[in-house]
Structure 1
Amino acid sequence: MNAADLLVESLEVEGIEYVFGLPGEELEDILFSLRDSTIEFVPVRHEQGAAFMADVHGRLTGDAGVCLSTLGPGATNLLTGVADAHLDKSPVVAITGQGGLERLHKESHQNLDVVGLFEPITKWNTQISDPEIVNESVRKAFKLAEHEKPGATHLEFPEDVAAAETEHRPLPPRNRVRRPSPDGKAVERAAALLADADRPIVLAGNGGIRTRSAERLRSFVEQTDIPVVGTYMGKGAVSDADDHSLLTLDSGGDEQAASAIERADVVLAVGYDIAEHDPENWNPHQEKRVIHLDFEPAEVYAHYNPQVEIVSDVSAGLRAIQQEGTTITTDPEWYGDLRESILADVTRCPEAGEDFTVRRTLPLLRNAMADDDVLISDTGSHKMAIAQNFPTHEPNTCIISNGLATMGISVPGAVAADLAVDSNVVAATGDGGFLMNAAEIETATRLGCGFTVLLFNDNDYGLISEKQAEHRGEHTGTQLTNPEFTAFAESFGIEGYRPDSWDELDEVLERVVSSNEMALVEVPVE
């Protein structure tokens, strides 16, 4: 076989079903190898969309998603989606083509230092400069991408290397590396802190979802009655239907969830990445006693300086605290009223005559979606409303980018979600983020996907306008004009809706979310 065949066979051995990408001249050998494999190559409309698809695939499955581009502009177009995977701790393997080795030492057509470009946004990346190292390079890329904390890796594949012959064969994957068991003394100190606390609270982060630790976390809070507040990326670690859930850090009117963590005297941070939510917002005076439980030691930060660090498998750490601290109990009265107030705030359905807003739409959307349906949120003012006010009941059913927090992820992300899960999928987006990657609707229809695009249209980069108005009392440089979105949807052969009343919106959402058809629902908001 040639090296491209070995690369593709190695991907097959890794269990890859889809490779998302754009074709290019330097990818010819890889593309024909993919054609003859069990893997489906999915041509997309922009490399950023390919990277987002791989990103969301990784988030939902825990297995690395794969994206492919050619050299030069193809590779640079991948960067945003790969960076998103890097900061959101999503396993992704990016593969880029390159010109022949004989011209890379000099200025030449479309030649950039792609390995150098990917260096700061990957866990590991390399050029495959010899056909004899293909199998090792692929195995290493997947091992590091999926190893906690997961992230992105990158392989550059020059076209002359891809065409070269090799007698090597793929390296078989092994069981993923596990962290050691939690340190006994750290567990004892953590259990003692929690037992002595009057108002302990769990801060559930991305790692609580990512490491499949939700079941153990739910058992822990059931045993101890300790309340849970999530980060935006920790939504669903404990169901918001559970009496222990206070939703997310910013949920509820009058900062109710924030007041809970403000009153707490011990914070057990479970799988918390400070990139997803700045601890200065919830520990501004640096007085909180913090227990850090994660696969890696805590970042050094004045506002996040834990008294105890348990570096281990998250589930194993929680289990150890449970076994050590069998007497840990909390009086639910200190947070019960807060929970009721938060729920009343986020579940109130709109009344006739009220204007369309994102927040008022969310109870209708929640009612239209089953607990295991998946919501992919783009970035913008609507993301803030979803993160704070959309009750989430299962892990990985509300996908929010809050490490890089990039726009444009929802539609390509919904394509990946629709391929990865059996549940219904909704892509929630603003008009700004939607048009960044709206062309991937064509990819979705070509693949036979069936998901709903819920588009909040304010003809503005609304979140930036809000921030400017807070600071200056006015905004500038944010206003947009838009196409007729229902006609735009219909041009792709899918149904487009623009309801005029809450009853009509409710009826449309109930119908389209549960269908197996593609649809776009526009909600005009101020």
Structure 2
Amino acid sequence: MTQDTQNGAELLVRCLETEGVEYVFGLPGEELTDLMMALKASDITFVPVRHEQGAAFMADVYGRLTGETGVCLATLGPGATNLLTGVADAHLDKSPLLAITGQGARERLHKESHQKLDIVGVYESIVKWNAQLDDTDIIPESVRKAFKLAEWEKPGATHLELPEDVAGERVNQSPLEARQNVARAEPNTEALDRAADYLHEASQPLLLAGNGAVRADASERLQAFVQETNIPVVSTYMAKGAISDRNEHSLMTLDSGPDGQAGGAVAESDCVLTVGYDIAEHDPAGWNPEKSKTVLHLDHEPAEVYEHYNPEVELIADVAIGLAQLTDRLDTSWETWCREAHKRVLSSATQKPDDDEPFTVRGTLPSLRDAMNDDDVLISDVGSHKMAIAKHFPAVQPNTCLISNGLASMGIGVPGGVAADLAVDENVVVATGDGGFLMNAAELNTAARLDASFTVLLYNDNEYGLITEEFQEESGDTYGTKLTNPEFVSLAESFDVDAYRPTSWQKLSDILAETVGNDDLTLIEIPLDR
């Protein structure tokens, strides 16, 4: 194809190829005809889904796992609005994503017309950058900008809208080459010295790892910091694996331990160094309720203004570089002051149930950990099971336990499994509840069509269990949370998916050992008693 024979859609696809895009997840529509034909002729694999929300979740999880921008596609109107939840999830979970939506021809956009909405306006609050491609000449710059902003710290979502007449217009342009030449920011020397002084003065310092600690080489630097200083680490849900939970310095997540707050260690700490922490994920009022702790902030962006999170020092820099330079300034090693808390947390996480106990989410996790390799990937949907996984599932490597905890959107599990199977070579397990599963269960069809291989653990309590728990805690009663469900094993089998419903702990362990490492698509329904 020569430049003067291409149309806008073909140029857009050439730009995606230049960015290294391998997959586009989406659902086609009439206004996308030129774009779909351009994708067909390209080296990019288009993955048709059963609902646009599934496409956005796939792009979201693909971006989190690879660090490269996941791309999702939808037509105008309802297609574009159906993408919104997954795009918003990427926005708050800091996952690089590009949403591309179709639009009607420009000649009808000034008036009310069929399926026409101001999608650029709708998306404005949930993306880092957002534009309509209203001229073919701006396509190369716009695509390059969308990828650059999606991937640069902190990552997030971007959006481009393509009117159908622009898609069909002839254009004489070439893609801009992708560049990775933005310098990684180094921290201010004075701020580093001040942070080191605060740490030297602390008797019980603690490191709080956030979402930013699992990206790039930050995890490697974090582990080196901890080994040098003996400072214990507690993680947010989305930072699981930033430091191995087998490490004696790991206290798992903030809510871990018999009584939560990492076995009491958080309350005992006097100085907290946060690394890549987002308050959108975990309210600092929970771990700094009296506003009495010395807080040191290391992140790519300044701290949000909040009375419970008002850092004495803000190190605004690349997280990995900041950790390395801070390590060099610390000339002491603290005693492991929270050894008992570590023991309590670890004991709580590894305790197996008695044979006569009914199924619980927490009880399944030791057998699941046994069945998974250290670098296998667990994706948790949102629900009561998420809380158990966050507190009690030991993660050994970064990005091997994915939890949506920014937007915390139900329905991410099965689409996330599809994306993870394409993104990594390791085994993939999806943990979901009956509520979240049925929100995007149709993507099992997408998984089967792609010959995907992952295991779905479906915890079935016939209700929106987490909401029930919260209602009962606040009011002593519940309303509107009970569900009736289909026969899940038969439903899965209708999608040509192997399905099981174990009746004992031993049978569950045997099924997990057999299925997690095989090449089949499998669903395991675990009935929960309440």
TM-score normalized by the length of structure 2: 0.98
1:363 to 2:384 alignment: no
Shift of residue 342, structure 1, vs aligned partner: 1.0
Shift of residue 258, structure 1, vs aligned partner: 5.3
CA–CA distance in structure 2, aligned partners of residues 396 and 148 of structure 1? 17
Shift of residue 176, structure 1, vs aligned partner: 4.8
- Structure 2 letter corresponding to 1:417: A
1:504 to 2:507 alignment: yes
**Contact kept? 2:458, 2:526, Cα under 8 Å:** yes
Which position in structure 2 is the counterpart of 1:95? 100
Which of structure 1's runs of 4+ aligned residues deviate more than 2 A? 176-180
1:386 to 2:389 alignment: yes
**Helix, strand or coil: the match of 2:35?**
helix
Which position in structure 1 is the counterpart of 2:157? 152
1:375 to 2:378 alignment: yes
Equivalent residue for 2:56, pick from 51, 57, 60: 51
1:330 to 2:371 alignment: no
Percent of residue pairs identical: 62
Shift of residue 210, structure 1, vs aligned partner: 2.3
Which position in structure 1 is the counterpart of 2:210? 205
CA–CA distance in structure 2, aligned partners of residues 266 and 403 of structure 1? 25
Equivalent residue for 1:349, pick from 348, 352, 366: 352
**Contact kept? 1:465, 1:478, Cα under 8 Å:** yes
CA–CA distance in structure 2, aligned partners of residues 178 and 412 of structure 1? 34
Which position in structure 1 is the counterpart of 2:240? 235
**Contact kept? 2:263, 2:342, Cα under 8 Å:** no
1:16-415 to 2 correspondences below 5 Å? 16-255=21-260, 257=262, 259-325=264-330, 327-332=331-336, 334-415=337-418
CA–CA distance in structure 1, aligned partners of residues 34 and 506 of structure 2? 54
Equivalent residue for 2:481, pick from 468, 474, 478: 478
**Contact kept? 1:48, 1:79, Cα under 8 Å:** yes
**Contact kept? 1:206, 1:234, Cα under 8 Å:** yes
**Helix, strand or coil: the match of 1:215?**
helix
Size of the aligned set, in residue pairs, is 524
**Helix, strand or coil: the match of 2:338?**
helix
**Contact kept? 1:258, 1:282, Cα under 8 Å:** no
Shift of residue 180, structure 1, vs aligned partner: 2.4
- Structure 2 letter corresponding to 1:224: T
CA–CA distance in structure 1, aligned partners of residues 150 and 325 of structure 2? 28
Shift of residue 494, structure 1, vs aligned partner: 1.2
CA–CA distance in structure 1, aligned partners of residues 113 and 37 of structure 2? 26
**Contact kept? 2:97, 2:156, Cα under 8 Å:** yes
**Contact kept? 1:195, 1:328, Cα under 8 Å:** yes
What whole-Å deviation, never above 9, does each CA across 1:453-484 have from its counterpart, x for those lacking one?
00000000000000011011111100000011
Shift of residue 171, structure 1, vs aligned partner: 0.1
TM-score normalized by the length of structure 1: 0.99
**Contact kept? 2:263, 2:345, Cα under 8 Å:** no
**Helix, strand or coil: the match of 2:59?**
helix
Which position in structure 2 is the counterpart of 1:15? 20
CA–CA distance in structure 1, aligned partners of residues 260 and 447 of structure 2? 39
Q: Give the RMSD, CA atoms, in angstroms.
A: 0.8
- Structure 1 letter corresponding to 2:51: H
Which position in structure 2 is the counterpart of 1:525? 528
Which position in structure 2 is the counterpart of 1:450? 453
CA–CA distance in structure 2, aligned partners of residues 150 and 134 of structure 1? 21
1:428-467 to 2 correspondences below 5 Å? 428-467=431-470
Shift of residue 408, structure 1, vs aligned partner: 0.1
- Structure 1 letter corresponding to 2:410: M
**Contact kept? 1:147, 1:176, Cα under 8 Å:** no
Range with greater deviation from structure 2 (13-22 or 259-268): 259-268
**Contact kept? 1:60, 1:420, Cα under 8 Å:** yes
CA–CA distance in structure 1, aligned partners of residues 332 and 53 of structure 2? 48
> Tell me, which stretches of 5 or more residues in structure 1 are unaligned?
none
Q: 1:176 to 1:360 in 2, by over 3 A?
A: farther
> Tell me, which stretches of 5 or more residues in structure 2 are unaligned?
1-5
- Structure 1 letter corresponding to 2:210: G
CA–CA distance in structure 2, aligned partners of residues 389 and 192 of structure 1? 34
Shift of residue 351, structure 1, vs aligned partner: 1.2
Range with greater deviation from structure 2 (113-122 or 179-188): 179-188
What whole-Å deviation, never above 9, does each CA across 1:368-423 have from its counterpart, x for those lacking one?
11110000100000000001110000000000000000000010001000000000
CA–CA distance in structure 2, aligned partners of residues 146 and 255 of structure 1? 34
CA–CA distance in structure 2, aligned partners of residues 485 and 203 of structure 1? 40
- Structure 2 letter corresponding to 1:474: D
